[in-house]
Chains A and B, each alone.
Chain A
Amino acid sequence: MDSPAVALTELVKRYGRTVAVDGLSLTAERGAVTAILGPNGAGKTSTVEICEGFRRADGGTVRVLGRDPVRQAAELRPRVGVMLQAGGVPPAVRAGEWLRLVARFHAHPLDPGALLDRLGLAEHARTPFRRLSGGQQQRLSLAAAVIGRPELVFLDEPTAGLDPQARHACWAVVEELRARGVSTVLTTHHMDEAERLADKVVIIDRGTVVAEGTPRSLTGAERQLRFRARPGLDLDELLTALPVGSTAKESPSGHYVVEGHVGPELLATVTAWCAAEGVTADDLSVERRTLEDVFLELTGRELR
């Protein structure tokens, strides 16, 4: 049986007295897209760079395709594609040259010209890296990560700073990788990216996993009722009328959210309360929670 693409157990990484990764365990299955989601400084890049063999863990076990990424690095390097968060390319080298160079390190690479074309970089093949826009640089790095036809790719914030077209081009590549059986581990703080691409989302904060599952399982367990009304309504009375375990809040001003077991009973209670308050509930709707709601709830709303 194939070992998982990535298996981390009780991973620890410290920088001096700062604990960047604090007993983190996660599994990324083969052939799946696993998104590691977390606020800045949560330990995403440290975790990925340990898997890539760039950093050594201070504790725990790391297995990438069943191998140790430091001691069995030589065996893993041809099998694993890497996209760094930034840089990694000499500023003066031309886009096409860089891709051809990386291709020549591999036994059965993709055609560099076709890959440039696919990522919308064909007309920039002779452009030095430093003259590419940020989005073009990102796409070239993505191309270099996949050109060797790896079994597993690590993409560290692949769409940070990309315009919408470039993001979609990147997503299309990730979807195609999955269709071809390639495993992908990506970090992001774009909720829509994780929701759209990932088979599994792992939310990490302060170096440890706070939630994991399919996007659906993370967001779909609870539903919520949303409506707009006059700001500043007193919610205490509503809360006493609602079924036990429900919550109600006004966020932002004039927008009300009721969470709990959203059924006919809850709906009736809310509308009755509105009638008693003499307000009309506008845009009343029942929705699934978004991944963003889950994320903010778990990682806190304060800026860090």
Chain B
Amino acid sequence: MTALDFTPAPGAAPLSRMVRAQAGAEIRAVLRNGEQLLLTLIIPVLVLAGFAAIPLLEVPGRRVDFIAPGVLALAVMSTAFTGQAIATGFERRYGVLKRLGATPLPRSGLLLAKTLAVVAVEALQIAVLAAVALALGWRPQGDPLWALVLVLAGTAAFSGLALLMAGTLRAEATLAAANLVYLVMLGLGGVVVPVSAFPHALRVLVELLPITALTGGLRAVLAHGAGLPVRELLVLLAWAVATIALAARTFRWE
């Protein structure tokens, strides 16, 4: 048996080590959770492959070039919004956020770790989805840097929305609402059904949704080789600023 010396030797670890440890724990939690994997990987892959293969809806251009940017946006939303909202809601409910608040890991470090974990899972999703899309004949256009900028802005907007929900609603309400919002955004946000198919009034409203902005922006770059889609980027940044500011005011850690 190893000797245990309880003599006090307090001290916080360096912030970078704390954040890496917490981010690693968050990533393991996602990859180990069956429902989360269904949401973040399996559903987007099925939407991608199914849409590319089965000609149910008329879309402009090649089917895979239309659906691939939409599915990338869907993947970002599933991780940054749905997965993060549900996980954080239950962490609050189980007192995990409270307990972590009593460790040397500062709250800013916890949020940074959550963000790093979200970005890491997104990188994995994008790698898998891009590989599947390329295998299906996808020919991406445009500058990947603009796509990256849109993905990061979308991540900020969806994370803000996730934390706003998780920090105020009960865990069960967050679970229900996050899934509902996911379905509504999947249906209305231009992921599968082009927004050009909607009546004008609806289309104007729908274009203000973060998912529509991300899908539209990614499609403009990756399908049509456009430069940085400024309007879409501004919509995403507006959502990010508003939801993060609101979440910072309303988030309850317990």
Which single residue of chain A is at the shortest CB-CB distance from B1? A117
Q: In B1-44, which residues have CB < 8 Å from any A CB?
A: 1-13, 17-18, 21-22, 25, 28-29, 32-33
Stretch binding the partner chain, chosen from A16-24, A142-150, A240-248, A291-299: A142-150
A300 within 8 A of B: no
Are B11 and A78 in contact (CB-based, < 8 A)?
A: yes
B105 within 8 A of A: yes
Are A110 and B4 in contact (CB-based, < 8 A)?
A: yes
* Contact A92/B22 with A82-B99, A87-B95, A117-B1 known, Cβ cut-off 8 Å: no
> With the chains together, A118 CA to B96 CA distance in Å?
24
Are B29 and A149 in contact (CB-based, < 8 A)?
A: no
Are A149 and B10 in contact (CB-based, < 8 A)?
A: yes
Which single residue of chain B is at the shortest CB-CB distance from A86? B95
B103 within 8 A of A: yes
B106 within 8 A of A: yes
B187 within 8 A of A: no
Which residues of the other chain, A, contact B3 by a CB distance below 8 angstroms?
Answer: 114
Are B91 and A90 in contact (CB-based, < 8 A)?
A: yes
Smallest CB separation, B22 vs chain A (Å): 7
> With the chains together, A176 CA to B21 CA distance in Å?
29
B198 within 8 A of A: no
A80 within 8 A of B: yes
Are A79 and B96 in contact (CB-based, < 8 A)?
A: no
> With the chains together, A175 CA to B204 CA distance in Å?
69
B62 within 8 A of A: no
Which residues of the other chain, A, contact B99 by a CB distance below 8 angstroms?
Answer: 82, 84, 87-89, 144
* Contact A149/B104 with A84-B99, A105-B12 known, Cβ cut-off 8 Å: no
Which residues of the other chain, A, contact B10 by a CB distance below 8 angstroms?
Answer: 78-79, 106-108, 148-151
A268 within 8 A of B: no
Option from B11, B94, B95, B96 in Cβ contact (under 8 Å) with A107: B11
Option from B4, B98, B106 in Cβ contact (under 8 Å) with A88: B98
* Contact A180/B12 with A77-B102, A84-B95, A91-B94 known, Cβ cut-off 8 Å: no
Smallest CB separation, A50 vs chain B (Å): 13
A104-B21, A110-B5, A149-B7 known; 20 other A-B pairs, CB under 8 Å?
A: A52-B102, A54-B102, A77-B102, A77-B103, A78-B11, A78-B12, A88-B94, A88-B96, A97-B25, A101-B21, A104-B18, A106-B104, A108-B10, A114-B1, A114-B2, A118-B1, A148-B104, A149-B6, A173-B6, A181-B8
Binding site for B on A (CB under 8 A): 52-54, 74, 77-80, 82, 84, 86-93, 97, 101-102, 104-108, 110-111, 113-115, 117-118, 144, 146, 148-151, 173, 176-177, 179-182
Would you list 27 pairs from A and B whose C-beta atoms are within 8 A, ordered by A residue? A53-B102, A74-B106, A78-B10, A78-B11, A79-B8, A90-B90, A92-B32, A93-B29, A101-B25, A104-B18, A105-B13, A105-B21, A106-B104, A107-B12, A108-B10, A111-B2, A111-B4, A113-B2, A114-B2, A117-B1, A117-B2, A149-B5, A149-B10, A180-B5, A180-B6, A182-B6, A182-B8
